[in-house]
Amino acid sequence: MPRLRLPPVFHTPLHLSRRAVLYGALILLVLVFVPLIVASSRWLHASRIDLTTDRLYTLTPGTLHIVDTLQRPLRLTLYFSEHATRDLPKLRSYEQRVREMLQEMVARSHGHIRLQVIDPVPYSDDEASAEGAGLTAANGGSNGERVFFGLAGNAMSGNLESDNVEDRVPEKTLAIAFFDPARETFLEYDIAKLLYELNQVHKPSIGVISSLPVEGNPALGEQPWAVMQQLGQLFDVKMLDPASLRHIDDKLKVVLLIHPKELSPDAEYAIDQYVLQGGHLAVFVDPDAELDSTSAYASEAALAADHASDLSRLFAAWGVVYDPHTVVLDRSRALQIELAGSSLNHPAMLDLGEQEINRDDAVTASLQRINVSTIGHFDLTQAAHTRLIPLLQSSAEAELVPATRVLEASGDPTRLLRDYKPDNAHYVLAARLRGTFDSAFPERAGEPGHRARSAPDAEVILVADTDLLSDRLWVEPQTMLGQTMMRVFANNGDFITNMVDNLSGSSALLSIRGRSTSQRPFTRVQALRNVADQKFLQKEQELEQELADTRRRLEELQPAKRDHAGSVTAEQRREIEQFRQRQLEINKELRNVQHQLNAEIDALGLRVKVINIVLVPSLVVLIGLLYGWRRSRRNRRLR
């Protein structure tokens, strides 16, 4: 019987097929993963996770509300001198921070905000465009080039749904002249404020209630105060008559209450309800308003009382303590004035500098100097439901005195320094009052529209001086080429403008507080430095003490231990030599402390490098090897 011959069967090694599958999977993974990464980096900017400690790259709810409620298309242009800053790594790092925040807002706006980034190279049309938009160039770039780093914003005509936004004519143009890294904590606030103002169609309306002649007197040729002229350029200012005031229109974004004197109950009630219904109020009271036009023939006591202002009923309801008859003196901040041909420091007129100005508030962060005169102070009652956030405060050298004493010393302010006793307290001169406000008129609860309590986040700004508004404390006229111009020598006007600008924004804008900076300090290194500094200071004090002791010993020895020729005795020489040896030893110890500091910092740096470069990758590799070993072992068992 013939035998059936079958064709030979070739067996492919199992490990070759697995290897082929593995290579194929790797190639497929590369073909899929790389295009996915490229596509996500190009089109999925909004899909990001903020893992920073202070959530630096997460927009606050206030900013989100402003971006979500835009009513017109906005075009933003970020000007940054790329070439001129190649040797300025700190500024380049901050530019990346600014750009990422702008991109986050653009992604959130769903096409309502367009962003363009331009490098304004010298002598180009882009440089001229940056200057025309209101940007300010800084010196100090590479090869002496000017550095532009600012944001120009244009509010375009038409609605959001229309196309061809780029072809429209801008209706409003605003700019952030320069992104100063020192204001990084207010970066989000500054950009959100720009967006908010670009979205506004008309100037915000503000009201002014004043018993001082802030409007001037046109009949006598008196111009309005400079601060009022400045506010008139940015806002629609409406003067309110306190005598006939019964209601304050809620369309007024801010109300300035300046030197309230003898307000009627109806006027006080109107102010009370305006605040409780969400209105923004700034109150300027004064224990001695020097520009109050009271008769100069009254007695000093009567004059002091008549020049004072208070808002006692509302202050009591808000938990505010204010004495209209007390003035804050501060000899360390006394303003230098000219009086009777001589120059002197007036302790009741204060030159407040950076130490007395709150650097963490958007209103005062950029201010350098504010001049005040015969200013009072604020505090809170123990039962207050509100809190004071100081904007301006005195130094610890301040002293409280009666306003009558200041008036008595008007001819010779140096008399105020007699028997001067500092209170060792920082008095609050201007502040935000924030919290829940109760009505000062509970008896009117039955009237239509009455509100008994404000929202929890109500806010009022309090200033215990009205003189800071007057021209004489911050501007002076100067004639140049036949024209009269104002020379600014203090930031009083900026203080008021920033205040009104801040309060006139939406509640969303007011909710944006200062953020942390992107600069993360090495806290461990700083702690090591602090310990070493303490050791260094202790050794330095020991050296100074030994120097003083040795000199005193030499003075004691000198008259008794000199020989007849007047030369130094052997005992003195031994004393001097011992001192020199000890001085060398202490200097050596100081150097050792510094070497120990550097060694500890170097060791810390080495540990960080080892962890990042060696340990973490080694752990990843080890985990991968263990996983591979366990999988291969499991596969061998399955065979």
Q: Where are the alpha helices (DSSP H) in 200-264?
A: 226-234
pLDDT top residue among 79 and 20: 79
Q: Are residues 161 and 111 in the same domain?
A: yes
Pair (175, 247) in one structural domain:
no
Among 24-38, 147-161, 228-242, 483-497, the least confident range: 24-38
Q: Which two tokens stand for residue 238?
A: 């409406």
Within 8 A by CB and 6+ apart from 187, the residues are: 97, 98, 101, 179, 515
Return the pLDDT at 297.
Answer: 43
Helix (H) or strand (E) holding 549: helix 523-557
Say yes or no: 217 and 298 in one domain.
Answer: yes
Residues 311 and 450 grouped into a single domain: yes
HSE, CB side, 13 Å, CA atoms: give it for residue 563. Answer: 8
Cα distances (Å, whole numbers) of residue 290 to 284, 373, 447, 468: 13, 8, 39, 10
* DSSP-based three-state secondary structure for 522: coil
Question: Are residues 443 and 305 both part of a single domain?
Answer: yes
Structural domain for 300, as ranges: 205-325+375-396+425-504
Per-residue pLDDT tens over the stretch 604-636:
667 777 777 777 778 888 887 888 778 777 777
User: What span, in angstroms and rounded, lies between the C-alpha atoms of 287 and 375?
Assistant: 7
Token pair for residue 281? 């109020």
Residue 524 has a pLDDT of 59
Q: Report the alpha-carbon angle 155-160-166, nearest 5.
A: 55
DSSP string spanning 554-593?
HHHHTTTS--TT-PPPHHHHHHHHHHHHHHHHHHHHHHHH
Phi, psi at 415, each rounded to 5°: -65, -25
Alpha helices in 277-342 (DSSP H): 300-306, 312-318
Query: How far is 399 from 348, CA to CA, in rounded Å?
Result: 10
Average pLDDT estimate for 339-352 = 89
Q: Residue 43 domain-assigned? A: no
Looking at 478, 504, 530, the residue that finishes a domain is 504
83 and 134 share one domain:
yes
d(CA 218, CA 215): 9
Asked if the structure places residue 117 within a domain, the reply is yes
CA 355/CA 5 separation, integer angstroms: 104
Query: CA quadruple 350, 354, 360, 366: dihedral positive or negative?
Result: positive
Asked whether residue 91 is domain-assigned, the answer is yes
Spatial contact of 286 and 406, defined as CB atoms under 8 Å apart: no
Calculate mean pLDDT across residues 468-493. Answer: 82
Structure confidence at residue 200 as a pLDDT band (50, 70, 90)? confident
Same domain, residue pair 265 and 295: yes
Instruction: Tell me, yes or no, whether 77 and 186 share the same domain.
Output: yes
Residue 639: inside a domain, yes or no?
no
Q: How confident is the model at residue 141 (pLDDT cuts 50, 70, 90)?
A: confident
Q: Are residues 247 and 140 in the same domain?
A: no
The angle at the Cα of 271, spanning 270 to 277, to the nearest 5 degrees, equals 90
How far is residue 298's CA from residue 306's CA, in Å, rounded to a whole number? Answer: 9
Distance CA 48, CA 101 (A): 12
Asked if residue 14 has pLDDT above 60, the reply is no
Question: Is residue 358 included in any domain, yes or no?
Answer: no
Whole-number pLDDT of residue 562: 47
Same domain, 274 and 181: no
H helical segments located in 387-505: 403-408, 492-504
Report if residue 368 sits inside a domain. Answer: no
In a domain, 55, yes or no: no
Last residue within a domain, chosen from 178, 199, 220: 199
What CATH number did the domain enclosing 170 receive? 3.40.30
Write down the pTM of the prediction: 0.67
Residue 166 lies in a domain: yes
Statement to judge: residues 492 and 526 lie in one domain = no
**Is the same domain home to 380 and 478?**
yes
Domain count of the fold of the chain: 3
Quick one: which H or E segment has residue 393?
strand 386-393
| pLDDT computed for residue 25 by the predictor | 78
Q: Residue 551: pLDDT band by 50, 70, 90 thresholds? A: low
